[in-house]
Structure 1
Amino acid sequence: MTHPFMDADGDKLREECGVFGAINAEKASAATALGLHALQHRGQEAAGITSFDGHDFISRRGLGHVAENFSSPEAIAELPGTMAAGHVRYSTTGGAGLRNVQPLYAELASGGFAIAHNGNISNAQSLRKDLVGKGSIFQSTSDTEVIIHLVATSRYPTVADRLIDALRFVEGAYALIVMTPTGMIACRDPLGIRPLVMGRMGDAVLFASESVAFDVVGAELIREVEPGEIIFVDFAGEIKSLHPFGSRPARPCIFEHVYFSRPDSTFAGHSVYEARKAIGKELAIESPCDVDLVVPVPDSGVPAAIGFAQQSGLPFELGIIRSHYVGRTFIQPSDSARNAGVKRKHNANRALVAGKRIVLIDDSIVRGTTSLKIVEMMREAGASEVHFRVASPPTANSCFYGVDTPERSKLLAARMELDAMREFIKADSLAFVSIDGLYRAVGAKGRNNACPQFCDACFTGDYPTSLTDLAQTERKSDELPFADRSPTDSRAA
């Protein structure tokens, strides 16, 4: 689903959300708010925090940035207790609106139950239909609420066992932080598609989508939550770990290295910043360019451009200056408004690029519209040649695991071959890093096609789980008379 808080053309992939949790922390909600600030890049549409004071669960949720909702002492004071969990989100499955802002909360037979979820359940609609048929009443359109109803209807005796039972029905990607009256539960899907890490701050145990959140709150990174692992932490500080789903080869999302994670985070045991520099070096080896300057498309293209420049021996220069005070850009109805939106965010460093042959380095090309405008901007600034290099393989497939992706028909790489893509963005040359080059940059020898080390479905179309809702949607579409068919989003609805 395209939402109103994307770039001017919806021309960047957006992570659905970020999660943070703290238990046995003196000021749990304050730590959670600070952690969410560090994860703001993972979701800028809405933010929420739920705390537990030993008796009651208290929630505060709002549309907008973390600072708009949790920057005042009064807002934090409304969320007392030594346990809290928070969430920042973009809307993919479920759409926008306050009722879908997490953590979601419900009163179960066993007491309060709050859940924050990063990811996407690819059989949520099928499960929801079955639950509604049995009498469940949903309060949101979020796929996350399916987990609450599965827990509520499970016949196992403890909340922990009910959660495990519920997750056995779930397919897709999830990193969860759950709060109950007895403590906090953190878990990750069996393939580890979405990230989740564990930290410590004094007696407090913390969980977060990225390690950078621990740096900001002054906590120590302990380790990643393992794929398929469920960790229980109680108010006495006891930590228990289970692996109830068996052992499968992990498939973490490789796009965390390319774009989603902050460069000062670590992911899958590697520095994200160093991985992005290494991708740039692989790109320079595979697709060298005879130019005067290496110019990053800010900010996400900067580390890869540094690596490209170091490997090729070319000068690295800031030929594009980005304004950091534009704020969120709403989708605009006309080409002139869209162009103005891009120029408010990026402006050519005319004195530097005029008369120069340049190579632009960006993290990805999605629809291609922003790439086209940036190339045109460089030519208008007087660049004699404009080449384009991309620090990821062509994005030719939609994601169904918690990333807001345009439908496949709108992805440039799904519609065009390489030379047609080059003509579309009006570059003198265009090249992407290879899938093996990407794998080498993140510490592998190359892609093991028989057992890939990452989820790379957006590049390869090799989805690591079943896609039940998508299959059912496509089957229904095939059953419609031709005249009744209309274009639909290829994402799970």
Structure 2
Amino acid sequence: MEPLKHECGVAMIRLLKPLDYYQKKYGTWMYGLNKLYLLMEKQHNRGQEGAGLACVKLAANPGEEYMFRERALGSGAITEIFSTVQSHFKDLTPEQLADAGYAEKCLPFAGEVYMGHLRYSTTGKSGLTYVHPFLRRNNWRAKNLALCGNFNLTNVDEIFARITAMGQHPRKYADTYIMLEQVGHRLDREVERLFNLAEAEGLTGMDITHYIEEHVDLANVLRTSSKDWDGGYVMCGLTGSGESFAVRDPWGIRSAFWYQDDEIAVLASERPVIQTVLNVPTTSIRELQPGQAIFISKAGRLRTVQINKPRELRPCSFERIYFSRGSDMDIYRERKLLGEKLVPSILKAVNYDIEHTVFSFIPNTAEVAFYGMLQGLDEYLNEEKVKQIAALGHNPSHDELERILSRRIRSEKVAIKDIKLRTFIAEGNTRNDLAAHVYDITYGSLEPGVDNLVIIDDSIVRGTTLRQSIIGILDRLNPKKIVIVSSSPQVRYPDYYGIDMARMSEFIAFKAAIELLRDRDMKDVIAAAYRKAKAQADLPKEQMVNYVKDIYAPFTDDEIAAKMVELLKPESVRAKVQIVYQPLQGLHEACPHHPGDWYFSGNYPTPGGVKLLNRAFIDYIEQVYQF
């Protein structure tokens, strides 16, 4: 209901033919640039705070620019950066614009290697300097590096201390800058190694440059620079000499997919994006495996290499529930199954009163789960009809059959997303009053005082929109009972791998558990968890334990959900309200290949996640309590 800040999105393109080939076949040498625009626009859901692109020309002469970058801020950043690129071509004659040779020699962004990025800040740091791709410039073409990624490192402090002890001086204390320095440092060493080999073979001048660019081994660069990275990431990069690469974290937390034919090689954060942009079948697209990297050489040769040993597989389940496009065939099926698995709990919540219940969804991300819920309800109702018909005996009357067969699941589009609040709106009560109008309702969609209203959402994290808008606006329909259904389990723990959920105070589930401990005079549980967390604050992250689990341990899911209702239900609401959550088991049954569930279970895939959780819990307790 309240939008999570999404993970970032990446896109890479390597043209495998000369620009003139695309001019002749597709009528434009901008084929790669146009495909990059589509790949980025189709992933716009993953980033609305900024966007950037980088391009490398493979055949530039000394003294000619060969590496280009454009970045912009805001939800319109994609349009802005591509408009800026196109502005370089606006004064060309039609003949010049159709001349691939002229473009390759004279025009910026007329290259064969492209990389794009969509940014959503997960650190609170903003501004153009934090928008990817990041550049590391050098007078040697092979040492130039552009990096972008979908990631969050949990051990930035350790890496920063290590590389500064070596004498490096990162420009900023941010994981992207630090990763840029690490990869750049190892790239420098690799180029210098090859320079010495070339000299030893008697090469001089440009022959040395060509030798370096033909032999550079980026697999070795990534092995040495990424071995200590703790976190979830897909990191993409280009070198000035035309090498491109992408590497995935060894836990498989973040995802990436790639495709290659004889014309083009492409990588993106989501599979259906590649399917749509290139019009290729699912079966032709491959997933980058955990710990694996993909490399495309200056000559256009593609290879995959296992860079880091795969760890326990923990791909992010929130990708399936919320972030990725539902047009992916597997994600669509999984989201439907998430809705279907909630049916037993929903029926219990409405006391099996199908005749007097209207089913709906919160637009727009919960729509697919809604269809799955309806399918499960239809199956339940059909089973009930079979039982009722069988109970009539062998000669039921027409009226009896008609009465049974006419029973239907009642579904309506009850909630309508009406406006998007802007940041310039006043704070305080004025803002809260306006927030109540983010959603509107379809009046007359249920019978007042008689019908229950069941409305499904994909997740309930903070509960802000529930409290400020949803529950109150739904109550205007005067339902007997409002059942809010979450297709995901209770979000209890922060994420530290690329989603903007990092503070304990944000989670309504955590607030509910703390309130229950207070209500039941169990504050000693809070104090004990704090003491244990504080005692391990200086331990190596590998030895840390998640003691926040102790906060939830005394209570059932239903008890916490009931407390959430108390915290979220406005006093003016007349209807009875209940919140129903997906059980953790239901999540794993619906998404069996994405077991990364740390948001719900607290089982972090890396030691760095536990370390940052420990710090967040200590900070929360010390701000609220005096221990």
Partner of 2:365: 300
Note the 1:362-381 alignment, pairs <5 A: 362-372=457-467, 373-381=469-477
The one of 485, 490, 495 aligned to 1:389:
485
The one of 137, 143, 150 aligned to 1:107:
137
Q: Structure 1 residues 182 and 124, CA, compared in 2 at 3 Å: closer, same or farther?
A: same
- For residue 244 of structure 1, what is the amino acid of its counterpart? I
Q: Are 1:124 and 1:469, in contact at CA under 8 Å, matched by a contact in 2?
A: no
SS of equivalent residue, structure 2 residue 69: strand
The one of 52, 56, 63 aligned to 1:52:
56
Note the 1:395-474 alignment, pairs <5 A: 395-416=491-512, 417-426=560-569, 428-443=577-592, 454-467=595-608, 470=611, 474=615
The one of 66, 71, 86 aligned to 2:116:
86
Q: Structure 1 residues 360 and 196, CA, compared in 2 at 3 Å: closer, same or farther?
A: same
Note the 1:49-448 alignment, pairs <5 A: 49-54=53-58, 55=60, 56-64=66-74, 65-72=76-83, 74=86, 78-93=108-123, 95-107=125-137, 110-154=142-186, 155-156=189-190, 157=193, 158-180=217-239, 181-200=241-260, 203-220=263-280, 221-265=284-328, 271-288=330-347, 289-290=349-350, 291-313=356-378, 314-323=409-418, 326=420, 333-344=427-438, 346-353=439-446, 355=448, 356-372=451-467, 373-416=469-512, 417-426=560-569, 428-443=577-592
Q: Are 1:24 and 1:235, in contact at CA under 8 Å, matched by a contact in 2?
A: no
Q: Structure 1 residues 335 and 440, CA, compared in 2 at 3 Å: closer, same or farther?
A: farther
TM-score scaled by structure 1? 0.86
Q: What is the rounded CA distance, in whole Å, between the counterparts of 2:616 and 2:367 in structure 1?
A: 43
Q: Please list every run of 5 or more consecutive structure 1 residues that lacks an aligned counterpart in the other structure.
A: 1-6, 445-452, 489-493
Q: What is the rounded CA distance, in whole Å, between the counterparts of 2:36 and 2:53 in structure 1?
A: 7
- For residue 333 of structure 1, what is the amino acid of its counterpart? E
User: For 1:77-127, what per-residue CA distance to the aligned partner results, in whole angstroms no more than 9, with x for missing partners?
Assistant: 552211110111111136111001001111256421111110101111321
2:82 equivalent to 1:19? no
Q: Are 1:123 and 1:469, in contact at CA under 8 Å, matched by a contact in 2?
A: no
- For residue 442 of structure 1, what is the amino acid of its counterpart? C
Q: What is the rounded CA distance, in whole Å, between the counterparts of 1:342 and 1:406 in structure 2?
A: 26
Shift of 1:197: 0.4
Q: What is the rounded CA distance, in whole Å, between the counterparts of 2:584 and 2:415 in structure 1?
A: 28
Shift of 1:477: 6.8
SS of equivalent residue, structure 1 residue 59: strand
Name the stretch that deviates more: 327-336 or 101-110.
327-336
Shift of 1:457: 0.5
Q: Are 1:360 and 1:388, in contact at CA under 8 Å, matched by a contact in 2?
A: yes
User: For 1:184-211, what per-residue CA distance to the aligned partner results, in whole angstroms no more than 9, with x for missing partners?
Assistant: 1111100110010002365110000001
SS of equivalent residue, structure 1 residue 15: coil
Q: What is the rounded CA distance, in whole Å, between the counterparts of 1:38 and 1:139 in structure 2?
A: 33
Q: Are 1:117 and 1:175, in contact at CA under 8 Å, matched by a contact in 2?
A: yes
Q: Are 1:18 and 1:43, in contact at CA under 8 Å, matched by a contact in 2?
A: yes
Q: Structure 1 residues 137 and 248, CA, compared in 2 at 3 Å: closer, same or farther?
A: closer
Shift of 1:248: 2.9
Shift of 1:250: 1.6
Larger radius of gyration: 2
Q: What is the rounded CA distance, in whole Å, between the counterparts of 1:310 and 1:419 in structure 2?
A: 27
User: For 1:419-471, what per-residue CA distance to the aligned partner results, in whole angstroms no more than 9, with x for missing partners?
Assistant: 11122233622110111101111247xxxxxxxx5211100000010117945
Q: What is the rounded CA distance, in whole Å, between the counterparts of 1:135 and 1:476 in structure 2?
A: 34
User: For 1:352-401, what per-residue CA distance to the aligned partner results, in whole angstroms no more than 9, with x for missing partners?
Assistant: 14624211100111111112220111002333321111100000000000
Name the stretch that deviates more: 145-154 or 397-406.
145-154
Q: Structure 1 residues 68 and 353, CA, compared in 2 at 3 Å: closer, same or farther?
A: farther
Q: What is the rounded CA distance, in whole Å, between the counterparts of 1:216 and 1:350 in structure 2?
A: 38
Shift of 1:486: 5.0
- For residue 370 of structure 1, what is the amino acid of its counterpart? T
Q: Structure 1 residues 126 and 475, CA, compared in 2 at 3 Å: closer, same or farther?
A: farther
Q: Structure 1 residues 477 and 280, CA, compared in 2 at 3 Å: closer, same or farther?
A: closer
User: For 1:306-364, what per-residue CA distance to the aligned partner results, in whole angstroms no more than 9, with x for missing partners?
Assistant: 111221132322101124x74765686214313413524x2111121462421110011
Question: Considering only aligned residues, what root-mean-square deviation do their CA atoms show, in Å?
Answer: 2.8
Q: Structure 1 residues 403 and 487, CA, compared in 2 at 3 Å: closer, same or farther?
A: farther
- For residue 290 of structure 2, what is the amino acid of its counterpart? P
Q: What is the rounded CA distance, in whole Å, between the counterparts of 2:434 and 2:126 in structure 1?
A: 26
Shift of 1:262: 1.1
SS of equivalent residue, structure 2 residue 337: helix
Q: What is the rounded CA distance, in whole Å, between the counterparts of 1:456 and 1:331 in structure 2?
A: 36
Q: Structure 1 residues 153 and 169, CA, compared in 2 at 3 Å: closer, same or farther?
A: same
SS of equivalent residue, structure 2 residue 444: helix
- For residue 14 of structure 1, what is the amino acid of its counterpart? K
Q: What is the rounded CA distance, in whole Å, between the counterparts of 2:590 and 2:610 in structure 1?
A: 34
User: For 1:219-240, what per-residue CA distance to the aligned partner results, in whole angstroms no more than 9, with x for missing partners?
Assistant: 5352110111111112433111
Higher fraction of strand: 1
Shift of 1:410: 2.1
Q: What is the rounded CA distance, in whole Å, between the counterparts of 2:279 and 2:498 in structure 1?
A: 27
Q: Are 1:371 and 1:425, in contact at CA under 8 Å, matched by a contact in 2?
A: yes
SS of equivalent residue, structure 1 residue 350: coil
- For residue 5 of structure 2, what is the amino acid of its counterpart? R
Q: Structure 1 residues 58 and 470, CA, compared in 2 at 3 Å: closer, same or farther?
A: same
Q: Percent identity?
A: 26
- For residue 84 of structure 1, what is the amino acid of its counterpart? Y
Q: What is the rounded CA distance, in whole Å, between the counterparts of 1:362 and 1:475 in structure 2?
A: 27
Q: Are 2:494 and 2:613, in contact at CA under 8 Å, matched by a contact in 1?
A: no
